[in-house]
Structures are given as structure tokens and as C-alpha cells.
Structure 1
Amino acid sequence: MIDKIEDLDFSGKISKNELLNVLKKEASKIHMHDIMLASAYIQEDAKYMQAGYREEFVETFTRAFINRFKDIREDKKNYEGYIDNKKLEEFLKVLDNQMKESRIRQEQYFLRLAKIVSIYTTFILEASIHPVGTSFPGGFKLKFENGEYLCPVKEKQLNTPGALCRFCVSKQDKSI
């Protein structure tokens, strides 16, 4: 049985349930201390944002991490279908490059947690990587309307090398 994301066999089909089981094993190794270190990184990374926006951003992401880990650990659903192996491999390359470039301990914890949460969100739930309600500069928020996730910055981030936006199911919010 596979215990780590890195041990997945990309030469054959990977079911959503198989990936979920691996993510559950990875999530079971995460402790509150890890989440606290990741939260410290989020706070540090956001220190130059405007005060009101920064506080909301830090709270939203910290709460999302805690809730997503709880969701992963408790998810007993049966998911139909298989994941797109090529897309997951590309996704992992982006995350692995970010990990290699990280210089501080808190960022490494954040990336470790973000990897689990973002894979779950993108490949299992097929939901937006950012939580609904996430604020972006200019006062814009990620929305869910008529069965679609609408992101105010998707198109601007598609060519950003480290951004996961190109993998996200969100669509550009055309009202912005």
C-alpha cells in the first residue's frame, strides 16, 4: 500500500479513491504544531499587505488549512473516476520546485501542508484551490456562482511559474 504522494505510480491509472487514501496517510502525519508553523509563514508572507486585508487573508488561510485537514481525515466518500496523471505530475513539479527554493522552516511546513490540501481540493473535490470568499487586492473575492468557482485574478496568474492557478478549476470572473 502506498503511503506517500511521491510513491504513486504514474504509469497506470490512479483512482480518486487511491489518491485520497494516500492523502489521508499524509494528513495523519500532520500535527497542530505543523499547522502553527505554516500559519506563522502565512503571517510572515502577508506582512506587507494592507492591515485589514492581511488579517482577513491570514485568518482565511489558517482556518482553511485546519478545516481541510479535518475534511481529508474524515472523508469517507467514494469518488468515481480517475485523476489526470499528467496534470498531477506537472502539479507536483511546481510544488517540488517551490519546496527546493524555500529557505525558511515555516515556509517548508506551509508547502508541505499546502501540497496535501491543494491536491485534495484540485484532484479529489475538483474545487477551487483558494477557499470561497478569499480576498484579493482591490477588494475582489473568489466566488461560487451557478456551480462555478469565479476567481478575480485567474487570467493574470496563468503564466506565473510558481502559481497553481493553471491547475485550478476556477474560471476568470468576467465581471472584473
Structure 2
Amino acid sequence: MSIHDIMKARASMVKSVRNLPHKYSEMYSSVLFAYLYDTLQEIKNRKNLDTTEEIDPEKYEEIVKRVERFVDDSDPGQKAFSRFARIATLYLVFIEKKPIHPPGMIFPGELKIIEEKGGFYCPVRDKQSEVDIALCEFCICKDLSELETQ
């Protein structure tokens, strides 16, 4: 991705959350963007390619479809964001096995993604099953309620 594509992706992300309360728009437009950008930089700078990961082709295709589902092809910013998010998400899910959202990210209700007891826990993981674009089912995070029952 070129720096221009990244700038378009950032502008699209800021635009898409402009009607959220400031705290949450900041989380999505800055914190999440920085996490995805850092992931792209990690991919770019990765030198050790001696590992082989099994990738479920159906899962891969479903992630790609969901990321692209709500993209307006006439909007260059949305197209750039789709590419940006798709690359980072696929890497996080299949290669690094890290959460799709950054640990510490705040969701409504002041709940955060946390790392504890060797795993990641998300307060909204099980609440997103009704959202067409949500990628929660592919994320390594477990629902926060699972931590509370341990």
C-alpha cells in the first residue's frame, strides 16, 4: 500500500466515525487505526518467513467478503480502507493470532479488551453475532464473561 492509500484509509476511517461520541470516535479513528497501521509495518518489516501456517480457505474467503461487504466502490477512501483492513486483519487472524482490535481498546460501557491468564478477552465478542460486518467470530479473543467464570 502506498502512503496515499494509507492516508485515504485514515480519512475514510475518521469520516465513518464522525457521528460517534468523541471518546469512541477517537478509539476507532486513532487507536484502532494505529494498531492496524503498526500491523502493516510489522508485515512490511518481517524478515523471518520460515513458519508455515495452515489457512482455512473458507474462513479466509468469509473474512474477505465481510470486509468488502459495505464498501462503496465509487469511494476511493473506502476502497483504500478495505484493502488496509483486509491485509491487517488476515495477518492478525491467521499469522500472528492476535486480537483484531487492540488490547486496551474501550467499548461502550467503558469495558476494554484485556490480556489475562494467557489469553485475550473482549467485552463485545459474543454480542456482535447479529452484526453483518463483525469479524468477532474469527478473532482470537474469548468473551469477557468466560474470564469471570474461571
TM-score (norm 2): 0.86
1:88 aligned onto 2:70: no
Gaps of 5+ in 2: none
Q: Hey, what does 1:69 align to over in structure 2? A: 40
- Name which of structure 1's ranges 32-41 and 101-110 shifts more when overlaid on structure 2: 101-110
Query: Displacement of 1:61 after TM fit?
Result: 2.0
Runs of 4+ in 1 over 4 A off after TM superposition: none
2: distance between equivalents of 1:59 and 1:160?
Answer: 22
**Given the superposition, is the C-alpha separation of residues 93 and 66 from structure 1 closer, same or farther in structure 2, using an over 3 Å criterion?**
closer
Q: CA RMSD in A?
A: 1.8
Contact 2:53 2:94 in 1 (8 A): no
Give the whole-Å Cα distance in 2 for the aligned partners of 1:164 and 1:56. Answer: 17
> What are the residue-to-residue correspondences of 1:26-175 with 2, within 5 Å?
30-77=1-48, 78-99=50-71, 101=72, 104-174=75-145, 175=148
Distance of 2:68 and 2:23 partners within structure 1: 32
User: How far, CA to CA, are the matches of 1:41 and 1:163 in structure 2?
Assistant: 18
Whole-Å separation in 2 of the counterparts to 1:79 and 1:96: 28
State, as a whole percentage, how many aligned pairs show the same letter.
30
| TM-score, structure 1 normalization | 0.74
1:93-128 CA-to-partner distances (Å, cap 9, x unmatched) read: 2233233x5553211111110000000000111111
In the comparison of the two structures, how many residue pairs are matched? 145
- Alpha-carbon separation, structure 2, partners of 1:130 and 1:142: 8
